[in-house]
Structure 1
Amino acid sequence: MSDTLSSPQTVLPDKGADSGTGYKEQFERSLGKFESFAVAFSFISITTGLFSTYGSVLVSSGPIGMWTWPIATLGTLLVALVFGLLASKIPLSGFSYQWASRLVNPVLGWWFGWMSFAFIAVVLLAVDYGLAQVALFPLLGLEYSPAAGAITTVVVLFIQMLLIIWSTPILTKINNMAVGAEVIAMIGLIVGIGIAVTFFGKGQASNLLSTGIAPTEHYYGWLGPFMLSGLLGAFTLVGWEAAANLAEETLNPKQVVPRAMVHAVLASGVMGTLFLMVIGMGLGDQVAELSKSSAPVADVIRITLGETLSKLILLVVCVAIFACGLVIMTSNSRLVHAMARDGRLPFAEALSYVPRPTGGPLWATIVAALIPMIIVLSFYSDPDALTQILGAATLLPALLYSATVLLYIGTRHKQLHHADDFTLGKWEWPVVVGACLWLFVELCVFMIPADFRVAQMYVLGLIAVGAVVFACVWVTRRKQLEQMPPIQHYL
């Protein structure tokens, strides 16, 4: 891979001036290299994904299912590289919405935007619901119930909404602190559990090759239990494109954003592999028992490291998951704002309103919070709510990533190349082909088996809702739907 970035700095316009994007700058550019990386890393949040999904993987595939994680990391890294090519050419809030609108047409872009909104909303719900079930309730020693989980999720969503509206610098500081704490906690857990297993006999290395309570018939077959464990990586290693969604708040985004996405995937993949190894070994001889737990990762930490240290780690995990949800809601608020300022949504004038450059878009953020609140209240008494949400939150990004990679392939011939673009040189086509192969396998895993029928129904429901919203926009704002502001500096 090569990275031909000859311009050391992108010249930034004065605040409020036309930046060559067709828009007046409404946000302050305050995100540097680390902040952009932190946004992508925090959205991925391996603690969030692994705490939320590991229990499902134990049931469906057993501890050995963790070995799909490195495969998912490689595949996701290839997809992130393709996204980096697009993010460098069109560094605007709205990421895939902007890319499809400008490279094909605004109608296709609208649907990319809607699917992105649905994906981020569902992932936000899964993250905040998971915060209650697998981290907060175990930390406080409370008995979990679906009703209590739903109420807690609504409260968390409300707090995140207020923080985003109030101050971008404050939420950036919270996220930076959370990312630092998460990295330290993950390294500490890897070392601590590894020592407990290796020197104090609190685990078994043989678990890494155990199928546990999972069915063993055709285990390694096409779409068998082993392949189903891909949920672990497919749910967790998503959202790194949030760095692209905050491009208009990033310094030198053409260079910073692509690297931030790739580095976040790579760091998450490596740490996640090591963490899954020690957690798998830490199951010890209680694989069957812990597979039935609502929070098996928290249980392994308690068993191997003791009650006191377990509580401390869970506190850090709660902060990391909260920050993950904070970044996700921020990303969705920027997407809603980007579509609204182009007149692509009902009540566009209100949804595009930004009270001040250091805060979030007011009504766009409220919408980004309100939709998950409504959805979670519909799951008020469902004990399988988290599993169902996880399924939808896995299928939606797979569909969106596949469509975006195909978008790049189909429009590559019309894209102009500039000296400061992020490029892959001779590795471009091998990376693109590899990304396509990974996404094909991922879609097969989550489209063909009956296990994901509920998730597929949710996706179809979201598409149906999108059709209603699109019809309203088409009838009331057709002229705006057919036009896009020119961007002089990027295409």
Structure 2
Amino acid sequence: MSTTPVLSAPPPSDKTDAADLRGFGYKPELRRGLGSYASFAAGFSFVSILTTVFQLFAFGFSFGGPAFFWTWPLVFAGQFMVALNFAELAARYPLSGCIYQWSRRLANATVGWFAGWVMIIAQIVTVAAAAIALQVVLPSIWSGFQLVGGDPALTSTSGATNAVILGSILIALTTLVNILGVRLMAVVNSTGVTLEIIGVVAVVVLLLVNAERGPGVVFDTGDAGSGLAYVGPFLVSALMAAYVVVGFDSAGELSEETRDPRHTAPRTILRALAAAGIGGGLMLLAALMAAPSLTDGRLATEGLPYVLTGRLGETGGRILLIDVAIAVAVCTLAIQTAGSRMIFSMARDGVLPFSAALSRVPARTGTPTVPAIVVGVGAIAVLLVNIGQAALFTAVTSVCIVMLYIAYALVTIPLLLRRRKGWPNGEEATGTERGGRLFALGRFGIVVNVVAVVYGIGMILNLGWPRQEVYDPAGTHWYLHYFSLLFVGGALLLGGLAYLRYRSRAHALNPRLSFPAVVPAALEGETA
């Protein structure tokens, strides 16, 4: 990677951050209260390995056996290529709703609008998917959390109903935290992430201490096949890692609330993904080494909770499950925060319905209130689908990950096209708020970008491929088999109709679509 010389600058301040934002044509309205750790926590908690690995371990193992472990480093490597590109963009466009903002600046108003639209839908559904994980955890800690009926299984009527109740309560609380302000959100999120990291370390250490087989277990394909026959099951099991390793861009979503964002956001995007990748890989390895049995079928149905309670006993397992419940809560909070910033960013450009209300920021809190409520209400509505339609809910939450990858591709593909024309051109003259050098890939930019694009397209195809075993394992509904294609097609069609309504406003943004000659923040602050 390379760096470029920049003009010297005095120490950064909120004034220089605000002046930098004005250079993009936006009035500073959001309150800057996030430091480096809070920014890191936003990205790490969206990925939330303690939530998602617990939730999805059984899925990956059931299809690929112990060797499904190798899908994790492969997906992590591909996503890190994406993250490197995002880090370069975060240094140059420190704006809320970053996927939308980056896409429309790299391509045009139309591409940017669809990137934002797809991201909003994905984030709302992902909030619901994260919140429902409470049902997997809380009744295992204490039976009193099963408020309805006696069967906690998500596929049962009572379990599904209870999952909606617990998830709705959690979403109501995260909405309240978001409404009260970014500083409270940061405190809650950072505290939760700290506990989650402690929990990840504890899980890895305790399971390794109780291991009964060596690391060579990761070469065992189990009953999934061998040689070329294992390729199909391996690709399906890769969906587990693909579902988990997303959301690291949240540090960019909160750029306008982060101090020194040109310096901070690129680093925290990469650190959040690296920490999640290393921690998640170690959790998978430790669980496979410590599992009481690889062949009794329980690992493929119960996943990590089975390993914890089997190796650490009921008491030790419950203590760690409490930490998992905390991780679920902060994960839900982080995703909702990112989604609300995406809605706010598009609304202030006037390209969404009810833009005036969605873009309003109360001076008292410095936080967009209505977008947080919209995301919360939308997520609860998605949760309600789980009652009596557990298979449909699973299909919806699976497809939302496809939507995230599509949104990422709507950034990396236009970026590659711009690189071929010489991007970032003269923007390298801009420095960080501290007078340092912007994060840059330099001569490696094209190679990294190409890998990111190829990986992204490959994962979109793998995630969206109409497999019955993924989208309709019971084989009862034909539309579930093709649900990924139907959902993505329907979302794009609905988005197209909405875009036609706001197309004139979107294209009025064309003056901002070219790369402005933004002067260093410190110098602009002197003239503001």
Q: Same fold (TM over 0.5)?
A: yes
The 1-side partners of 2:392 and 2:217 are apart by 28
Per the alignment, residue 220 of structure 2 pairs with: 210
**Amino acid across the alignment from 1:77:** F
Q: 2:291 aligns with which of 283, 299, 304?
A: 283
Q: Where does residue 83 of structure 1 map in the other structure?
A: 86
8 Å contact 1:58–1:214 — kept in the other structure? no
Deviates more, 1:429-438 or 1:44-53: 429-438
Query: What are the Cα deviations for residues 265-312 of structure 1, in whole angstroms up to 9, with x where unaligned?
Result: 11111111111011112223254431453x421121111111111111
Q: Deviations over 1:53-86 (max 9, x none)?
A: 1121122222221211011111111110011122
2:40 corresponds to which letter in structure 1?
A: F
2:401 maps to which of 371, 394, 402 = 394
The two structures have a TM-score, normalised by structure 1, of 0.91
Give the C-alpha shift of residue 390 in structure 1: 4.0
Counterpart CA distance in 2 for 1:467 and 1:444 is 22
**Residues 1:357 and 1:229: Cα distance change in structure 2 (over 3 Å):** farther
Q: Quick one: structure 1 residues 353 and 485, their matched pair in 2 at CA, closer, same or farther if it must change by over 3 Å?
A: farther
Task: Using the TM superposition, give the Cα deviation of residue 341 of structure 1 relative to its aligned residue in structure 2, in angstroms.
Answer: 0.8
Cα distance 1:307–1:460, how it changes in 2: closer, same or farther (>3 A)?
same
2:66 match = 63
1:241 is matched with 249
Q: How many residues align?
A: 480
Which residue pairs with 2:202 in the alignment? 188
AA aligned opposite 1:482: A
CA contact (8 A) 1:243 1:261 kept: yes
2:312 matches 1:305: yes
1:443 correspondence with 2:460: yes
What is the CA-CA distance between 1:98 and the residue it aligns to?
Answer: 1.0
Higher mean C-alpha deviation, range 465-474 or range 12-21? 12-21
Q: Which residue is 1:231 aligned to?
A: 239
1:235–1:393 contact (8 Å) kept in structure 2: no
Task: Find the counterpart in structure 2 of residue 162 from structure 1.
Answer: 176
- Deviation (angstroms), 1:230: 1.3
Check the 8 A contact 1:86/1:408 in 2, yes or no.
Answer: no
How far 1:207 sits from its partner (Å)?
4.4
Paired AA for residue 436 in structure 1: V
* Aligned 1:78-477 pairs, distance under 5 A: 78-132=81-135, 134-141=136-143, 142=146, 143-144=151-152, 145-197=159-211, 201=212, 207-212=217-222, 214=224, 218-221=228-231, 224-293=232-301, 295-356=302-363, 358-385=365-392, 387-412=394-419, 413=421, 415=424, 416-419=426-429, 420=431, 421-450=438-467, 451=470, 453-474=482-503
Please give the alpha-carbon distance, in whole angstroms, between the structure 2 residues aligned to 1:352 and 1:456. Answer: 32
Q: Given that residues 109 and 507 in structure 2 are in contact (C-alpha distance below 8 angstroms), is that contact kept between their aligned partners in structure 1? A: yes
Q: Deviations over 1:340-385 (max 9, x none)?
A: 1111111111011111364531111111111111122123222335
Residue identity opposite 2:508 in structure 1: E
Per the TM alignment, residue 87 of structure 1 is displaced from its structure 2 partner at its CA by 1.6
Shift of 1:316: 0.8
User: Could you tell me which residue of structure 2 aligns to residue 482 of structure 1?
Assistant: 508
Residue type at the aligned position of 1:208: V
Structure 2 CA distance, aligned partners of 1:177 and 1:35? Answer: 9
Deviating above 6 A after TM superposition, structure 1's stretches of 4 or more consecutive aligned residues are 14-18
Cα deviation 1:7-55 (Å, max 9, x = unaligned):
6755643797763221111112111211111111111111122112112
Tell me how far apart the structure 2 counterparts of residues 257 and 287 of structure 1 sit (CA, whole Å). 44
Contact 1:5 1:255 in 2 (8 A): no
Counterpart amino acid of 1:137?
P
Quickly say closer, same or farther: Cα 1:309–1:389, change in 2 above 3 A.
farther
Q: How far apart are the structure 1 equivalents of 2:34 and 2:193?
A: 15
TM score, norm. by length of structure 2 = 0.85
Task: Give the drift of 1:322.
Answer: 0.7
Question: Do the aligned residues in 2 keep the contact of 1:92 with 1:248 (CA within 8 Å)?
Answer: yes
Structure 2 CA distance for partners of 1:357 and 1:481, relative to 1, 3 Å: farther
Change (3 A) 1:5 1:241: farther
Counting aligned pairs with the same residue, the percent is 29
* Distance in 2, Cα, partners of 1:365 & 1:190: 35
Structure 2 CA distance for aligned equivalents of residues 261 and 108 of structure 1? 23
**Matched residue type, 2:484:** A
Are the equivalent residues in 2 in contact too, given 1:341–1:348 (CA < 8 A)? yes
Q: Deviations over 1:390-415 (max 9, x none)?
A: 42132112222222111101223354
Give, in angstroms, the shift of residue 101 of structure 1.
2.2
Cα displacement string for residues 150-177 of structure 1 (whole angstroms, at most 9, x for unaligned residues): 2222221111111100121111111111
**Alpha-carbon contact 2:351-2:505 (below 8 Å) kept:** no
CA distance in 2, matches of 1:263, 1:368: 27
User: Which segments of 5 or more consecutive residues in structure 2 lack a partner in the other structure?
Assistant: 153-158, 432-437, 472-481, 521-528
CA contact (8 A) 2:399 2:464 kept: no
Kindly report the root-mean-square deviation, in angstroms, between the aligned alpha carbons of the 2 structures.
Answer: 2.5
Contact 2:120 2:342 in 1 (8 A): yes
Deviations 1:104-136 (A, max 9, x none): 32222111110111121122121111232x222
Determine if contact 1:166/1:359 at 8 Å carries over to the other structure: no
Q: Which moved more, 1:461-470 or 1:116-125?
A: 461-470
